[in-house]
Amino acid sequence: MTTKTKGLMLALSAYLLWGLLSLYWKQLSAVGAYDIFAYRMLWTVITMLLYMLITRQTQKYRSQLKELYRVKTTLWRMVLASVFITLNWIAYIWAVTHHQATEASLGYYVMPLVSIVLSVLFLKESLTGATRLALLLAAVGVAILIYQTGSLPAITLILAFSFALYGLIKKGISLSSDVAMLFESGMILPLSVLYLLFGSTTSLSQLSLRETVLVILSGVVTAIPLLLFSEGIKRAPLNQVGFIQYINPTIQLLIAVFYFGESISSGELYGFICIWLGVLVFIVGQIMLIKKRHML
């Protein structure tokens, strides 16, 4: 397995898990979105610290964080990445818990287009003919969705741009994914703790046993897909990682329609069909490219 293929597989695993996360957050609908986020940050930090201790990697964490603080450019990139991923997490939890899962899925349909444009503009990545055609089909599909809905919801734009910019910023950062995860969640932890102490309307004692368990496990469900994504983005071109991301919102959309009971119009369905055709073209193009390389 080549480095790029491994990266795409890691990213694919992350997107599959992210697609299913709406089911998880929906179980916490009775808890405020900001409370969920604050608890999520707290338990993510605790999860990563436990992981560090269990795997006996304290020295690695210490040395990498020390090097991070020494290289100011990388440090500020990581701070900015923390801001964008925080914005993305808050917006997504708010959308799912406020019956806007469809708008959230649309945001993740728009995101790959933003990600691919950023990869071409800033990373000078090239696109294959199949990727160009796939991108065109996806862009047409997104345009149809925007036309049918009459506007592009703010939550859609926030989700699309925050995660695309997060991926761009993380590209090329050599910091190991677990250390980066601890740093990013740790950056937001002080604000989360202050909110839980002075702004939260829900304490852990007010939650049911099931809700308490879900809140505690939120650190694990946050860390695993983000670690997979971070490792994938290091190994594969950003434009390709961005495109297979369409798997995530497709799963979210199916869950929103068939499980949450949200509806889509026939016109919106045409837009999704264009996007799915684009994904199919991209997959076929990648398979043909792999076969061609094996023949050389």
Is the distance from CB of 114 to CB of 160 less than 8 angstroms?
yes
- Distance in angstroms (rounded) separating the CA atoms of residues 271 and 256: 16
* Residue 224 pLDDT > 80: yes
Q: Is the pLDDT of residue 294 over 70?
A: no
In this predicted structure, what is the pLDDT of residue 155? 86
Highest mean pLDDT among 50-59, 110-119, 247-256, 285-294: 50-59
From the number of C-beta atoms within 10 Å of its C-beta (0-12, 13-18, 19+), residue 244 rates as buried
The helix (H) or strand (E) run that includes residue 89 is: helix 72-97
| Average pLDDT of the chain, as a whole number | 85
Distant-in-sequence, close-in-space partners of 118: CB < 8 Å, separation ≥ 6: 164, 165, 168, 238
Query: DSSP code of 150?
Result: S
CA nearest 109: which of 137, 80, 150? 137
pLDDT tens per residue across span 8-51: 888 889 989 988 988 898 888 888 888 988 998 999 999 999 98
Of 9-18, 91-100, 236-245, minimum mean pLDDT range: 236-245
Least confident of 8-22, 49-63, 123-137, 227-241: 227-241
pTM of the model: 0.76
CA angle 176, 283, 278 (to 5 degrees): 110
Average pLDDT, integer, range 2-10: 84
Residue 200 confidence class, pLDDT cut points 50, 70, 90: confident
